[in-house]
Amino acid sequence: TIRALLFDVDGTLAETEELHRGAFNTAFMERGLGWKWDRDLYRDLLRITGGRERILEYARRVGAHVDAVAIHRRKTEIYNERIQAGSITLRPGVAALIDHARGNDLALAIATTTSRPNVTALLEATLGPGSSGWFASIRTGEDVEAKKPDPEVYRLVLADLGLEAGECLAFEDSRNGLLAAKEVGLRTVVTPSIYSADDDFGGADLLLDTVEDLLNDRDFLQSGSDK
Ligand code: XBP
Ligand code: MG
């Protein structure tokens, strides 16, 4: 039986990566770095999970030495201001799925690579004030040594919930996220996002355009991996 739904954040709950990209670019501009990440470059850089790591990878490519921690801290501030301004909506079906979970005693959790303030801000801006409290476990890139595709964030969430992987469903949008979830044996639903459409989703248990279709598939929502 499924007892919990585990959500990735960026690309899965909402299409946030354009807002992240804009926040990176504003932070770079403020520093006078002369860097501008366009969509094609950003798609490539997204293979590096974690904003600080992404900045360091780009600095390495262009042979620059920068204070990635400070730049990333500023990027997070800018991103949070923009999220709070209300420019992002959840992907289709996400709010309904969360409602379904709350109405059917399914625990909710977050397993993400992004930074903690970004998660709280996104949940509260889209699902309403206090909604981050609906999530029994929220684990982020700040809680782990190794970010996805490493499964550490999922291990932390399962430990918080006191559940086995077979009792949970994971929701992801990218290959790195799928690899992390499958590594701990989670059944994983993948809804590709604007930046991950061409990823290899081999190994996904279910590949959907959006989670809207899932609410009509009660069997999938109710059965466990033992079935
Ligand atoms: C996606 C990521 C993050 C974001 C940027 O996270 O890889 O790095 O692109 O956020 P997920 P930060 O899909 O696991 O939610 O700058 O805070 O890392
Ligand atoms: Mg994602």
Domain harbouring 131, CATH code: 3.40.50.1000
Atom of ligand 1 nearest to the CA of 177: 14
- Catalytic, 10? Answer yes
The structure's pTM equals: 0.95
* CA of residue 27 to ligand 2 center, whole Å: 22
pLDDT band at 223 (very low <50, low <70, confident <90, very high): low
Specify the ligand 1 atom closest to the Cα of 112: 14
For residue 219, the model assigns a pLDDT of 73
- Residue 224: predicted pLDDT: 47
Q: How far is the CA of 56 from the centre of ligand 1 (A)?
A: 14
Which residues lie below 8 Å from residue 188, measured CB to CB, with a gap of 6+? 169, 170, 171, 172, 178, 181, 182, 203, 204, 205, 206
Same domain for 9 and 21, yes or no, is no
Tracing tokens 């850089």 back to the chain, one arrives at: 45
Q: Which domain holds residue 167?
A: 4-15+89-222
Which residues surround ligand 1 with Cβ inside 6 Å? 8-11, 17, 20, 49-51, 76, 112-115, 118, 141, 148, 177
Task: Please confirm, yes or no, whether 150 is among the known catalytic residues.
Answer: no
CB 181 within 8 A of CB 197: no
Which of 84, 107, 122 is the C-terminal boundary of a domain?
A: 84
- Same domain? 157 vs 67: no
In this structure, what CATH number is given to the domain that contains residue 39? 1.10.150.240
- Give Cβ neighbours of residue 89 (< 8 Å, ≥ 6 apart): 14, 126
- Residue with structure tokens 């909604």? 131
Interval 100-139: pLDDT, tens: 999 999 999 999 999 999 999 999 999 999 999 999 999 9
Q: Are residues 79 and 130 in the same domain?
A: no
Mean pLDDT of the chain: 95
Please tell me the distance between residue 226's alpha carbon and the centre of ligand 1 in angstroms: 32
- Report DSSP letters for 96-159, one per residue: HHHHHHHHTT-EEEEE-SS-HHHHHHHHHHHH-TTGGGG-SEEE-GGG-SS-TTSTHHHHHHHH
Pair 110, 210 in one domain: yes
What is the pairing mode between strands 4-7 and 107-111? parallel
> Using one digit for the tens of pLDDT, what is the confidence trace for 92-101?
999 999 999 9
**Whether 114 and 23 share a structural domain:** no
* Six token digits for residue 53: 């790591």
- Phi/psi region, residue 24 (left: phi>0; alpha: psi -120 to 50; beta: rest), is alpha
Residues 50 and 107 in one domain: no
Check whether residue 116 and residue 204 sit in a common domain.
yes
ipTM above 0.85, yes or no: yes
Q: Are both 99 and 195 inside the same structural domain?
A: yes
Ligand positioned closest to the Cα atom of 71: 1
